[in-house]
Amino acid sequence: MRGMKISILFLAVLLCVLAAGCGSSGASSASGGLDVSDRQGVISTMPAVESENEGIPTTVSELKEELAEDQGQLRIVSINAYQFAYEPDRVEVHYGDDILLTVTSLDVGHGFALPDFGVNVRVPAEESVQVRFKADKMGEFDFFNPVYSGKGWKDMKGKFIVE
């Protein structure tokens, strides 16, 4: 019987030692759960680790912002209209660019039409007109003068290229 008491006592001591070793250093809450408030402070005070990936987006929202910036730059385009041409007659932009187009008539009244982007404006003699639109289609698109401005008005053409 004495051997059994020693065995039970030994088991009780062993269980206490194991329980103490498995316990946490954090305080227990009244409900018996672990109080993690101290641990959050420890995490927030850890020193920042320098990364080779600096500048790379780390969240979905940062990635979306970066993609929007890459694909949505404001592009200012100026075109002069005169009898009977546009200068420049070839404009290249990137897909997704927000286009601010200024068409200036250097002589008589002209027009500027870029139907694929819904642009069709009259430009009074020696004045400028601004149009804003999104380059949301890829390819080569024709622009032209839809307004009679003299004998060669139909020759006023150009290319708007979105890459």
Give me the domains of the chain, ranges plus CATH numbers.
Answer: 74-146+158-162 (2.60.40.420)
What is the spatial distance between Cα 104 and Cα 18, in angstroms, rounded to a whole number? 86
What does the pLDDT read at residue 63?
A: 57
Model confidence pLDDT, tens digit, residues 118-149: 999 999 999 999 999 999 999 999 999 999 99
What does the pLDDT read at residue 28?
A: 46
Amino acid letter, residue 105: S
What is the spatial distance between Cα 158 and Cα 141, in angstroms, rounded to a whole number? 8
What does the pLDDT read at residue 42?
A: 46
How many beta carbons lie within 10 A of that of residue 99, not counting itself? 21
What does the pLDDT read at residue 2?
A: 60
Residues 6+ apart with CB under 8 A from 86: 79, 80, 112, 143, 145, 156, 157, 158
DSSP string computed for 41-68: HHHHTSPPPP-TTTTS--SHHHHHHHHH
Model confidence pLDDT, tens digit, residues 71-130: 569 999 999 999 999 999 999 999 999 999 999 999 999 999 999 999 999 999 999 999
Model confidence pLDDT, tens digit, residues 17-60: 556 666 555 444 444 555 545 555 444 444 544 545 566 656 66
Amino acid letter, residue 130: Q
Indicate the pTM of the whole model: 0.57
